[in-house]
Amino acid sequence: PDGTYVEANDAFLNMVGYTREDLYAGRLNWREMTPPGYEQITQQVDAQMRTEGICRPFEKEYYRKDGSRVPTLLGLVSVEQDEKREIGFVVDLSEQKRAEEALRKSEAKFRRFVEANLIGVAETNVDGVFVEANDAFLNMVGYTREDLYAG
């Protein structure tokens, strides 16, 4: 109930940068390892665990021992209702978050390139119908944006 971890595998310990000695000394506490901003999620999780004994997977961050944060996917289930013990899985989402950020940056760069109208850029669907085009392309082919939207 106080948030102290009583057991963890090496994958979780590595993820958060703690040692087994830290674990056995009681230094891992999910309440203390949870950054500010997760209060509402924590309340929802507590309510799910009380009423259903499970918590659907959700994303949250943990503070690592060094103070940095690790994004995770977490799910819980009660295993001993009377003792209020839970077992859960925690998946490190660091690589996924890095890939998402790289994709966002790439898309933003491409969008700026298209909007610069240095060259004509257009997008078609599988039937060859133009669904998007920048002004440079429309000027090249002699159509208006209204023509594009009209198909």
Sign of CA dihedral 101, 107, 112, 118: positive
In this predicted structure, what is the pLDDT of residue 46?
87
Q: Please tell me the distance from the alpha carbon of residue 131 to that of residue 129, in angstroms, as a whole number.
A: 6
Q: What tens digit of pLDDT does each residue of 39-97 get?
A: 999 899 989 988 888 999 999 999 999 999 999 999 999 887 656 788 899 999 999 99
Q: What pLDDT shows up at residue 98?
A: 95
